[in-house]
Structure 1
Amino acid sequence: MSSFYELGLSPKVTEAVLNMGFEEATPIQEKTIPIALAGKDLIGQAHTGTGKTAAFGIPMVEKLSGELEQLQGLVITPTRELAVQVAEELNKIGQAKGIRTLPVYGGQDIVRQIRALKKKPHIIVGTPGRLMDHMRRKTIRLDDIKIVVLDEADEMLNMGFVEDIEFILGETPQERQTLLFSATLAKQIQDLAQRFMRSPEFVGIKAKGVTVPSIDQSYIEVQEKQKFEVLSTLLDIQSPELAIVFGRTKRRVDELSEALNKRGYSAEGIHGDLTQSKRESVLRQFKEGTIEVLVATDVAARGLDISGVTHVYNFDIPQDPESYVHRIGRTGRAGEKGEAITLVTPREINHLRLIERITKHKINRMPVPTIRDAIAGQQRATVEKLMRIVEEEGYKQYQGLAKDLLAETDSITLLAAALKLLTKEPDRTPVQLTEERPLRSKKASASNKNARNKRALPGTKKRFTGVRGKN
């Protein structure tokens, strides 16, 4: 793989990419970025989780001007969740260069969006229906668009947005550059490319399976409000030497690390808001074993190379398969065994199936653990600690004291008392976590395709479709 220094990027964009924790380009980025930088149209066949957002985001930011206060780039996505996710990444890539990105989607107050549009973002990431609402109101004009990206084009066509996309593309300048990304290349995709793209180059990336056979992967289906009790029980049962718990947001990481400390676990959190010195301090303590549990967001965990991590817990299921592979890869290093457990709410099961499909790996279901399991786990851990001391002969200075105690109490009673004293009994101190909304699965999104309405822009004869308020 190439480093980003080898791709001919400007210093500001390279700096932004490296600050995001990326060091080497993924295969789709390595192939796509030079073609896009050359101004050519492109069709990328790639699944979610291959790094395709940066594959189109990096050249897009590179080619646009932060000095021009006008809309220059457009990304069309099938769902509001993807629009928000893509916009966040583009804002990070464009930060050093001053390129601002705004997501627009149905379900959010349109007046608030109009207010944000008046600040003249350089890039808009939007869903088809809401984009056309703004076009009808003339709050979005596409006259100066230089680059258009169709992200997850197959999903948009499956959801019935083909006429919407045709209309939007028809309103952009003919000399624009068009980048299309799709997991499949169905006939509709090819027809769309033939009509709206100029001699596009093709880049195909096959999804790779998870090459981490030393990691046991499993999931537990659990309601959102029961997740923390399940995590606490797992920690009591498994007594990990070093564990990383992944949360979806900074707020989640802060609340989780605080709650774990209340329960008696030694935990610290890392996320993007920490200073570099604080981050380094936390990681040093974790490597030294002073902290047993590290709670982290995906971004904060990029580039972590810590040996000895025995367990990874996905408190929140990751956004995409690439993040899943990255997370579980923190354990099972250097041939050591590792364990990865993902907590999944019932509404997120389809998202788990997507991860299985893309990574080509079956994730086994685990039953919800009980308090009885936790007590048994802690007792087992105590016995293991005692036997380790026996094996290491680290008890000899206590032999005299032991003989004195045995003169007064029988050995079974004395050993039972020692086991009770050493065993950490499950702590159920009440904690309160802010509930996170479950990830919306693509299957659920696609089911809306029968709910389409016909709408038209004033002054046009063209009819087109959209899912009102759902995109």
Structure 2
Amino acid sequence: MTLHRNSGSEEQERVSFGDITLKSMVFKAISDMGFEEPSPIQAKAIPFILEGKDLIGQAQTGTGKTATFGIPMAEMIDTDDSRVQALVLCPTRELAIQVAQEVSKIGRLSNLKSLPVYGGQSIERQIRALRHGVQVVIGTPGRILDHISRKTLRLNNVRMVILDEADEMLDMGFIDDIEAIIKETPEDRQTLLFSATMPGPIQKLARQYMKSPEFVTISRDKLTVPLIEQVYYECKDSQKVDALCRVLDMEEIGAAIIFCRTKRGVDELVASLKTRGFFAEGLHGDLTQAQRDRVMKKFRDGKAELLVATDVAARGIDVENVTHVVNYDIPQDPESYVHRIGRTGRAGRKGIAITLINYREYRQLKLIERVTKARIQRRDLPSMADIVERHKESHKSKLLTLLERGHFGEYKSIISELADEYDPMEIAAATFKLLVEGPEAEKAEKEVSEFGNTGAEPGMVRLFMNIGRGQGVRPQDIVRTIAEEAGIPGNVIGVINIYDKFTFVEVPEDVAGRVLGVMHQNMIKGRKISVEPAKAR
């Protein structure tokens, strides 16, 4: 990626994003978000969109669709004009919020103002925001029509209409609403349609409301993964560094490449690993060629056991003795996952690919599994007891060396004072625990549930679902769906109470986050449901 300066003006500064030329402010915003090059759909579709052409994009979730239309928005919209110039229709409030957040990040340096509008939020608050002036409105069809009927949303200045996940909107019965909304926009607008599938009604919609659209499709039929062991660990974001260190402590690593989403993430992780005694080096796009060469020489020579890198910086790396690839940040699409993990297990050698996820990323992991037709095995994070067991011989050897040398000085007086109150065996065990666990030894027992008191049995979390007997739901429907979607045995699911309009179900605390992440907005008995932690009675 090269910065091309056409003049001294910041407004005229242009930057290459792959083969796409962008304003420097847009490029900086997406670079800060972790984008280093376009995903396949972005590389194909963005040039057509920037030319003002209508476009149909057939691609699944997780391919970078939002940035595919968000980047051209930030490029093309007149931010000096406070009227609505772009409209994005989404099937659900969750997707509308997610799209709005990403569009806001892409346009943050360009002063692009976006607003999500959806049911369930105060319409008066939305009306006030619309009066204040926004250029992009992202919303669900029902709420958009509500604003149109109230005349609080005018679409006569809209230059771009985006239908996101059009097949989902069709399944939810929004097709008539979509047509009514499109008719409120100017005929010379640009229309973009994104859909994982192209059923007949969607094709009819495209023929009726789009002008000679370009068609872009991302095929994954031939996507295969190398024959290496693939595992994942689940942890909270706040515990991610410690989780990584525990995994590294348990693995017999020759050399490992750890992938982060952003350049800043690489630098921060390298610093954290070094403070914990690992020999780690970072590789990303801000390094000069000389710096890159020095890092790679250390890695090839075995002076650095861990290479922390972004996707683009790692391209072209060919190191034969890589035993592990770690996805510290889950990749944004299955293609990136395949490219990453293909760097281990070469020439018939054993290799292992490790992915760290939080419970919200479980769906993305299952998408990678489906598309690559690979089995990614879940493992429990190593406990401190596991690590003690793994390294006890090493620590025992160090203690024996110290005992043989003697010269304990002031430490003897500390133990002598403690021995008046505690058993010498307990003092020795506590000292050993502090040696192995470090500062975490004091915090290990203090962790409490992130869900608070939900009224469940100890060790369980009680979840609320807005579906019940009135929708024909049975206990076996609940158990089967949770077990299949969250990848847990059905027999660990606890008490299920089904009422006319809602249901309570108890699940083990250690998988509650995952269950919540995969079940919220999922389907049971053909109905999309909401799931949240229950409130204690």
State how far apart, in whole Å, the 2-side matches of 1:21 and 1:203 are.
24
CA contact (8 A) 2:261 2:311 kept: no
1:407-465 C-alpha deviation (Å, 9 max, x unpaired)? xxxxxxxxxxxxx999963454316699597697687535289669xxxxxxxxxxxxx
Matches within 5 A, 1:329-340: 332=344, 339-340=352-353
State how far apart, in whole Å, the 1-side matches of 2:236 and 2:31 are.
37
Q: Kindly indicate whether residue 49 of structure 2 is the aligned counterpart of residue 36 of structure 1.
A: yes
1:445 to 514, 521, 529: 521
1:34-57 C-alpha deviation (Å, 9 max, x unpaired)? 222222211111122333222222
**Post-superposition offset of 1:87:** 2.6
Matches within 5 A, 1:2-401: 4=17, 6-10=19-23, 12-14=25-27, 16-18=29-31, 20-207=33-220, 213=226, 216-220=229-233, 233-238=246-251, 244=258, 301=310, 303-305=312-314, 321=334, 328=340, 332=344, 339-342=352-355, 349-367=362-380, 369-379=382-392
1:253-312 C-alpha deviation (Å, 9 max, x unpaired)? 99x9999999x67799x9xxxxx99xxx9xx999989999999xxxx9564549798656
1:80-127 C-alpha deviation (Å, 9 max, x unpaired)? 343333333323433443322223334444444333333312112223
Over 3 Å counting, the alpha-carbon distance change for 1:149 and 1:54 in structure 2 is: same
Aligned to 1:416: none
* Paired residue secondary structure (2:57): strand
Over 3 Å counting, the alpha-carbon distance change for 1:122 and 1:338 in structure 2 is: farther
Aligned to 1:395: none
1:222-250 C-alpha deviation (Å, 9 max, x unpaired)? 799998986664344227676758699x9
CA contact (8 A) 1:312 1:339 kept: yes
**Post-superposition offset of 1:368:** 5.6
* Paired residue secondary structure (1:117): helix
State how far apart, in whole Å, the 2-side matches of 1:71 and 1:16 are.
22
1:139-187 C-alpha deviation (Å, 9 max, x unpaired)? 3222211101111212222233323322222322222111001111111
Larger deviation, residues 359-368 vs 310-319: 310-319
CA contact (8 A) 1:348 1:440 kept: no
- The unaligned stretches of length 5 or more in structure 1 are 271-275, 387-400, 406-419, 453-466
* Paired residue secondary structure (2:521): helix
State how far apart, in whole Å, the 2-side matches of 1:47 and 1:41 are.
19
What number of residue pairs does the alignment pair up?
407
Over 3 Å counting, the alpha-carbon distance change for 1:381 and 1:155 in structure 2 is: farther
TM-score computed with the length of structure 2 as normaliser: 0.58
Higher relative contact order (CA 8 A, sep 6+): 1
Larger deviation, residues 126-135 vs 213-222: 213-222
1:425 to 432, 436, 453: 436
State how far apart, in whole Å, the 2-side matches of 1:286 and 1:440 are.
42
1:370-427 C-alpha deviation (Å, 9 max, x unpaired)? 55432232247779x99xxxxxxxxxxxxxx99x98xxxxxxxxxxxxxx99996345
State how far apart, in whole Å, the 1-side matches of 2:238 and 2:382 are.
15
CA contact (8 A) 2:224 2:338 kept: no
Letter in 2 for 1:40: K
- The unaligned stretches of length 5 or more in structure 2 are 3-15, 406-430, 452-512, 533-537
Letter in 1 for 2:369: E
State how far apart, in whole Å, the 2-side matches of 1:111 and 1:8 are.
40
CA contact (8 A) 1:214 1:332 kept: no
Letter in 2 for 1:234: V
Over 3 Å counting, the alpha-carbon distance change for 1:22 and 1:361 in structure 2 is: same
Larger deviation, residues 141-150 vs 201-210: 201-210
Aligned to 1:396: none
* Paired residue secondary structure (2:180): helix
CA contact (8 A) 1:210 1:361 kept: no
State how far apart, in whole Å, the 2-side matches of 1:448 and 1:357 are.
20
1:316-363 C-alpha deviation (Å, 9 max, x unpaired)? 86676467568x559749988764434567786554322211334321
State how far apart, in whole Å, the 2-side matches of 1:5 and 1:369 are.
40
State how far apart, in whole Å, the 1-side matches of 2:381 and 2:105 are.
38
Q: Percent of pairs identical after alignment? A: 44
RMSD: 5.5
* Paired residue secondary structure (1:47): coil
Over 3 Å counting, the alpha-carbon distance change for 1:111 and 1:12 in structure 2 is: same
